[in-house]
Structure 1
Amino acid sequence: MSAPLVSVSYVSTATAPFDDERLADLLTQSRRSNHAHDLTGMLLYRRGRFFQVLEGPQDAVEHLMDAIRRDDRHSDVRILLSERIDERRFTEWTMGYEPIGVPTTAAPEGFRDTFDDLESDDDDDATIRAVRELTVWFRARTLAGTALREKEDAR
């Protein structure tokens, strides 16, 4: 019988800003390590904050979360959602990444501009809903972008 699968969603604060080159290095390292440890997931970075979903065998996810807590690139690591899963949601990505630009105009009402609302101490259900919304948004946006690039490549 295979090890149970878990999914952990967390937020953290970068101890120093990440530019495109530093993010690319982090993604290369993460993808190589995640592939070796049978982990999949997604990463969002915006304004010095990380939001990440990791999924895979429980021991591997727990080991990586311990390493992230000790990593001097992160501070204020906070687990938002930890759950057993029957199947992976990010089978396509050892570490999917979506750049999020900083808007030049005011965000529309209800638009999530930061990850701050994910950390509400008042409403765990709202936090779980927000985590799941971000997960669905990421998958839809990334899969649509992949389909568009494949269509353009076919021309």
Structure 2
Amino acid sequence: MLVSIVYMSRAVEEFDDAAMTALLREARLHNEALGVSGLLVAKGGRFMQLLEGPAWSVDDRFSVIAKDPRHHEVTSLLREDIESRRFDGWSMAYRGLDDDDLAAEAGFSPFLSGTTDFPRSFDRTSAAWLLKWFRDRELHDV
């Protein structure tokens, strides 16, 4: 059985580009090893992430994430059973990067710029609505 979790959290300290790149690389290694895919969106000192994969893997990743001292106020917003994955790989959008940086770092996505949208099969789901809500709101730094 595949599940999807969407959660939101707040960074304890500001993440610069180097810290975001390091976070992405670390998370990709763990997620790939456990068969977890999804999308991480970072903006204004806040994170929203969708994790998907086998229930035990997603639960394991979320448990580790919830204990990570780099952020707090970890709040699960949505958990649902899914029939198939909606993301082929794990990617992250980050508002502070320019297009050259986005193209150079595997896993980054221009989702926050509003130029990328979701596939039609995912676009009308609750998870897609939450991610778009996050993208379209002005959030303030930590």
TM-score under structure 2 normalisation? 0.69
Higher relative contact order (CA 8 A, sep 6+): 2
Give distance in 2, aligned partners of 1:59 and 1:134.
23
- After TM superposition, list the pairs within 5 Å mapping 1:6-155 onto structure 2: 6-91=3-88, 93=89, 95-101=90-96, 129=126, 131-133=127-129, 135=131
| Structure 2 segments unaligned to the other structure (5+ residues) | 97-111, 113-124, 134-142
Q: CA deviation at 1:19?
A: 0.4
Aligned residue identity for 1:133: W
Aligned residue identity for 1:96: S
Larger Rg over CA atoms: 1
What is the Cα-based RMSD across aligned positions, in Å?
2.3
Give distance in 2, aligned partners of 1:100 and 1:71.
22
Q: Structure 1 residues 75, 135: closer, same or farther in 2, change over 3 A?
A: closer
Aligned residue identity for 2:38: G
Runs ≥4 in structure 1, deviation > 6 angstroms?
A: none
Give distance in 2, aligned partners of 1:38 and 1:96.
14
* Paired-residue identity, %: 38
Give distance in 2, aligned partners of 1:86 and 1:136.
22
Aligned residue identity for 2:48: F
Give distance in 1, aligned partners of 2:85 and 2:14.
30
Instruction: Give the structure with the higher percent strand.
Output: 2
Give distance in 2, aligned partners of 1:68 and 1:49.
14
Q: 3-state DSSP class of the match of 2:94?
A: coil
Cα shift readout 1:31-71 (whole Å, capped 9, x = no counterpart) = 11111000000011011000000000100111111111111
Q: Structure 1 residues 97, 58: closer, same or farther in 2, change over 3 A?
A: same
Q: 3-state DSSP class of the match of 1:98?
A: strand
TM-score under structure 1 normalisation? 0.63
